[in-house]
Amino acid sequence: MLKIKKIVELRKILESYRLNKNIIGLVPTMGAFHAGHLSLINRARRDCDQVVVSLFVNPAQFSPGEDYNKYPREFESDIQKAKAAGVDLLFAPNEDELYPRKLLTHIEVADITDCLCGKTRPGHFQGVALVVAKLFNIIQPDKAYFGEKDWQQLKVVERMVYDLNFPVEIVPLPVVRDKDGLALSSRNQYLNQVEKRQALVISEALKMAADKIKSGQRYAVKITGLVEEMIAKTDGVELEYFSIRQPENLTEVKVIKRKVLLAIAVRLGKIRLIDNILVEVSDNVSDYAKEQNPSGNNYRG
């Protein structure tokens, strides 16, 4: 595995890959690799001739007061994990390499960044879009791999790629969870044993909400109420948001008629965790109609 810090050096190597008609896969990361990252790397390994992993804790996507400074940095063990997973090239630039001076260029993906995490993390998705655009231009991958755990981020990246015609295929992969259901996150390291137990309510709440939908509940406000209640009963966990959204454009859903995204963000003290789940709704029109009108009469008197 090659370890590269400089853009100029990286470009030379990638140029030779391209001239050999190699398919190049990129897994952009902030390091502290867990099984979620490894699932992205493994898939890239299967799809591509050359797997590039970028490892860069991107200051532009942290708001002031967020955990940029204490975000886990585990460079040595990340190198070992990447090597073991068959990564060809690890691009781990210093901050100066990507931000040599104050950038004047900003990329904003409107509308879909106004809600969910965009609301409490101003500038976060601008920072994500910026670093992803830079990495795409530096690495020029054929495919890039993103976890669905950060669903809104995935949608922002997909939309930017579509709008700006980046010549890259975005490959999303499902959330990876531990045996208790907790979605893997580099930030889980911040949790002590008590918090780790408390944090299980996140995926349990999503599961409860999904079950309600599956058993016929179509009113978002009812489901949201149940989730709020469940979180409120859990010591140490504060709900930032729970929201039912159209999965692609992230508009709020009031009455569930088709596939929806259930998205949640909570805080355990200073630790902020997010999770989400997609719920397919089959036979939805008739379910909804039944609920509106149990008699089967299409007109209400």
Which residues contact residue 255 at a Cβ distance below 8 angstroms, ignoring those fewer than 6 apart? 218, 219, 220, 288
To a second copy, the closest distance from the beta carbon of 106 in angstroms equals: 5
- 271: contact with a second copy by CB under 8 A: no
Whole-angstrom distance, CA of residue 91 vs CA of residue 185: 21
3-state secondary structure of 273: strand
Whole-angstrom distance, CA of residue 198 vs CA of residue 88: 39
| Contacts to a second copy from residues 113-172, by CB under 8 A | 129-130, 133-134, 137-138, 140, 159-160, 163-167
- 8: contact with a second copy by CB under 8 A: no
Question: Contact region for a second copy (CB under 8 A) — 26-34, 102-110, 204-212, 251-259?
Answer: 102-110
| Closer to a second copy by Cβ: residue 162 or 222 | 162
To a second copy, the closest distance from the beta carbon of 94 in angstroms equals: 15
Rounded (10°) CA dihedral 126, 130, 131, 134:
170
Q: Provide the token pair at 281.
A: 């709704």
Could you confirm whether 37 is annotated as catalytic? yes
Whole-angstrom distance, CA of residue 288 vs CA of residue 292: 6
| Closer to a second copy by Cβ: residue 35 or 103 | 103
Please tell me what DSSP assigns to residue 190.
Answer: G
| Closer to a second copy by Cβ: residue 137 or 292 | 137
By CB under 8 A, name the one of 9, 108, 211, 238 that touches a second copy. Answer: 108
Number of other CB atoms surrounding residue 162 within 10 Å: 10
To a second copy, the closest distance from the beta carbon of 129 in angstroms equals: 8
Distance of CA 50 to the CA centre of its chain: 23
**Residues belonging to the active site:** 37
Residue numbers of the site for a second copy (CB under 8 A)? Answer: 7, 11, 18-19, 21, 103-112, 129-130, 133-134, 137-138, 140, 159-160, 163-167
